[in-house]
Amino acid sequence: MANSVYTYSVKFVCGIQKDDPEGCLTVRPGAYATEINIHNFKDSEAVIEKFVLPVVIFGDVAGREPKFVEPRAKDRIVLPPNTATMDDCCRISELLLGHPPLGPSPLTIGFLVIVSSQELNVTAVYTASDLRSGSISIDVEQVVGKLK
pLDDT band at 100 (very low <50, low <70, confident <90, very high): confident
Instruction: List the domain range (segments joined by +) for residue 56.
Output: 6-147
Specify the CATH number for the domain of residue 108: 2.60.290.11
Confidence of residue 24 (pLDDT cuts 50, 70, 90): confident
Give the residue, 28 or 3, on which the prediction is more confident.
28
Residue 120 has pLDDT above 60, yes or no: yes
User: Do 69 and 84 contact (CB within 8 A), yes or no?
Assistant: no
Mean of all residue pLDDT scores within the chain: 95
- Residue 131 placed within a domain: yes
Give the pLDDT score at 112. 99
Q: Flag whether 1 is in a domain.
A: no
50-to-27, 86, 88, 103 alpha-carbon distances in Å:
25, 12, 13, 24
Q: How many domains does the structure of the chain reveal? A: 1
| Residue 7 binned pLDDT confidence (cut-offs 50, 70, 90) | very high
**Residue length of the chain:** 148
What is the reported pTM?
A: 0.94
In this prediction, residue 59 carries a pLDDT of: 93
**Looking at the chain, which runs of residues are DSSP E strands?**
6-17, 30-40, 46-57, 60-61, 73-79, 83-88, 108-116, 121-129, 136-143, 146-147
Please work out, in degrees rounded to the nearest 5, the angle formed at the alpha carbon of residue 139 by the alpha carbons of 124 and 104. 75
pLDDT tier, 140 (very low <50, low <70, confident <90, very high otherwise)? very high
Tell me the pLDDT tens digit for each residue of 64-96.
999 999 999 999 999 999 999 999 999 999 999
β partners of residue 124: 36, 141
